């Protein structure tokens, strides 16, 4: 080993070991706080939710980042792909939620013309009874054989005609198109605007695609579920135990470590000690 490196060994080794140890300390010190915070449910009006959701009394470590809930005037809301939705119901047992687009609750002329799209890795349709419909805005009426069922005034657009067509379609000869899921039964009311608006207000159901196995194992060991954004996986917060566990340990025993947690620390320390003794 180079002598200059050897002279620095006491400083490097002590500093590095302290740094490695300090990485684990905040997690351990904050575990009881996370256990308590993540034991709380999100409560807003009649909506109650726990993992994978977070928000209000549940800090971000209690849920998956995309599942943030907000409570505004006793109304639960969430954003999915930059579209704001009102949460009408959450069923933890079936892992489903009913949502309705916030902008369509006041009519068919939204302030932003954004499609209702979903990350297929996070959400899926609950039943096959839904299909996509498309609202077309700012259309040239000459291209349609029926009178426009509704009109919307759009700044900078000369035409106000609006139409509804089945499927997810592009704007074509119209200014903009917005597609949304609705029951297949809405197809019979495609020209009846009041009926379509009622369908929109009822919202639609989606199922969140989160593997609940790790959370169930955590709960069965009397822990509470959270989310580790470093490793993008469910973690378990235990009373009076360090974080980074997959399950909580009975009193007097050691918790089951989550993948890569303590293993990563010991491996990194062994590698460091080997290198300075070369």
- Do residues 169 and 178 lie in contact, with contact meaning Cβ atoms separated by under 8 Å? no
- Do residues 255 and 248 lie in contact, with contact meaning Cβ atoms separated by under 8 Å? yes
Compute CA distances 52 → 73, 166, 211, 222, whole Å: 23, 33, 10, 17
Region 72-86: mean pLDDT is 94
**How many whole angstroms separate alpha carbon 60 and alpha carbon 140?**
47
Structure confidence at residue 243 (pLDDT): 58
Asked whether residue 26 carries a pLDDT value surpassing 90, the answer given is no
Structure confidence at residue 154 (pLDDT): 92
In this prediction, residue 126 has a pLDDT band, given cuts at 50, 70 and 90, of confident
The structure tokens 């993948």 sit at 259
Asked whether residue 271 carries a pLDDT value surpassing 50, the answer given is no
Computed over every residue of the chain, the mean pLDDT equals: 80
Q: Which comes out higher in pLDDT, residue 54 or 258?
A: 54
Asked whether residue 239 carries a pLDDT value surpassing 60, the answer given is yes
Q: Which two tokens stand for residue 166?
A: 């089945």
Region 134-149: mean pLDDT is 87
Model pTM score: 0.75
């Amino acid at each position: 080993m180079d002598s200059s490196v050897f002279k620095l060994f006491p400083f490097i080794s002590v500093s590095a070991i302290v740094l490695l140890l300090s990485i684990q300390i905040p997690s351990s010190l904050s575990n009881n706080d996370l256990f308590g915070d993540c034991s709380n449910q999100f409560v807003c009006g009649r909506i109650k939710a726990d993992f994978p959701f977070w928000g209000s009394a549940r800090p971000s470590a209690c849920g998956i980042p995309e599942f943030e809930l907000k409570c505004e005037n006793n109304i639960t809301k969430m954003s999915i792909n930059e579209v704001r939705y009102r949460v009408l119901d959450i069923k933890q047992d079936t892992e489903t939620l009913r949502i309705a687009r916030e902008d369509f609750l006041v009519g068919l002329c939204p302030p932003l013309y954004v499609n209702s799209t979903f990350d297929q890795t996070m959400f899926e349709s609950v039943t096959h009874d839904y299909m996509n419909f498309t609202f077309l805005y700012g259309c040239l009426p000459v291209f349609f054989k029926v009178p426009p069922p509704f009109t919307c005034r759009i700044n900078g657009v000369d035409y106000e005609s609006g139409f509804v067509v089945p499927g997810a379609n592009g704007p074509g000869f119209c200014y903009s198109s917005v597609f949304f899921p609705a029951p297949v039964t809405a197809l019979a009311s495609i020209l009846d605007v009041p009926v379509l608006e009622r369908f929109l207000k009822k919202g639609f159901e989606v199922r969140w695609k989160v593997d609940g196995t790790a959370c169930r194992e955590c709960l069965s060991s009397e822990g509470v579920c959270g989310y580790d954004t470093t490793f993008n996986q469910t973690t378990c917060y235990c009373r009076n135990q360090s974080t980074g566990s997959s399950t909580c340990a009975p009193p007097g025993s050691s918790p089951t470590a989550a993948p890569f947690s303590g293993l990563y620390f010991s491996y990194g320390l062994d590698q460091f000690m080997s290198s300075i003794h070369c």
